[in-house]
Structure 1
Amino acid sequence: MAIFSKSLTKTDITKKLSFPTKSLKYLPCFGIGHALDLHVRDESGHVWTFRCIIRKKNHPKPVLTKGWRKFASSKHLDAGDKIIFYEQEDEATGAKYKIEVKKSIKLFGAILGYLP
């Protein structure tokens, strides 16, 4: 089941990925410290560890920090690309989540669609 999907911004790629607060109900309880590590499998089967924190200033919002920029860099993500984040347990790897990347197809700066 998809937890969220998002078209990425420059900030999402270069700093941290913020995602909808309503998605928190699909993640384990945060408890003390408001941070947890998520083990996420990509399309190739590689397992990534992302630190998920809840931003406390202004409007509380979940963000992926540690591990996210390395993932974005390795996948050559650009603004306009799309990710889909799923709740999907993989017994072989121990990952509880899956992330899928859809590269955008652009013509003169306009997004025409996405590659699988």
Structure 2
Amino acid sequence: MAIFAKCLSKTDVGKRLSVPSKSLKYFPLSGEHHAVDFKVKDENGRVWTFRCYTRKKKHLKPVLTKGWREFVCTRKLEIGDKVEFCRNAEEGAGAGYRIKVKKVVRVFGAAFGHVTIGLPD
């Protein structure tokens, strides 16, 4: 089940991934904690640890911080690339979530679409 998908912005690529607020209910945050680490498996089977962090006040504005920049750099993500977070239905997968990356395809500098590219380990 898809939790959310988004095209990456400059902030998403350079600092942290902004998560849509309506997707917050799918992350394992409790009422008293404002950050939680969780495991995500990519298309290549590599497990990543990300931290979901929210503000402590009314407008929570969830973001992924810890581990996110390493993922961006390793996968060479760029502005316009697309990520999709899903629940992981595999038993014993070692991660409760999956992430799919679709690289933006540019033709003469204009975004033409997205394509999934698996990377060797």
If the length of structure 2 is used for normalisation, what is the TM-score? 0.88
Over the aligned positions, Cα root-mean-square deviation in angstroms equals 1.6
Within 5 A, what are the aligned runs for 1:33-72? 33-56=33-56, 59-72=59-72
Unmatched 5+ stretches in structure 1 = none
Partner in structure 1 of residue 119 of structure 2? none
Q: Give the Å deviation of 1:60.
A: 2.1
Give distance in 1, aligned partners of 2:30 and 2:75. Answer: 28
Give distance in 1, aligned partners of 2:14 and 2:56. Answer: 20
Give distance in 2, aligned partners of 1:60 and 1:109. Answer: 36
Give distance in 1, aligned partners of 2:24 and 2:96. Answer: 14
Aligned residues: 116
Confirm or deny that 1:112 pairs with 2:112: yes
Q: Give the Å deviation of 1:56.
A: 4.3
Partner in structure 2 of residue 96 of structure 1? 96
Q: Give the Å deviation of 1:14.
A: 1.0
Matching residue's letter, 2:97: Y
Q: Give the Å deviation of 1:108.
A: 3.0
Could you list the structure 1 runs, at least 4 aligned residues long, displaced by more than 4 angstroms after superposition: none
> In 2 relative to 1, CA 75–93 (structure 1 residues): closer, same or farther, beyond 3 Å?
same
If the length of structure 1 is used for normalisation, what is the TM-score? 0.91
Judge conservation of contact 1:54–1:60 (CA < 8 Å) in 2.
yes
Of all paired residues, the percent bearing the same amino acid is 55
Matching residue's letter, 2:43: E
Q: Give the Å deviation of 1:84.
A: 0.5
Matching residue's letter, 2:29: C
Judge conservation of contact 1:49–1:67 (CA < 8 Å) in 2.
yes
Judge conservation of contact 2:19–2:63 (CA < 8 Å) in 1.
yes
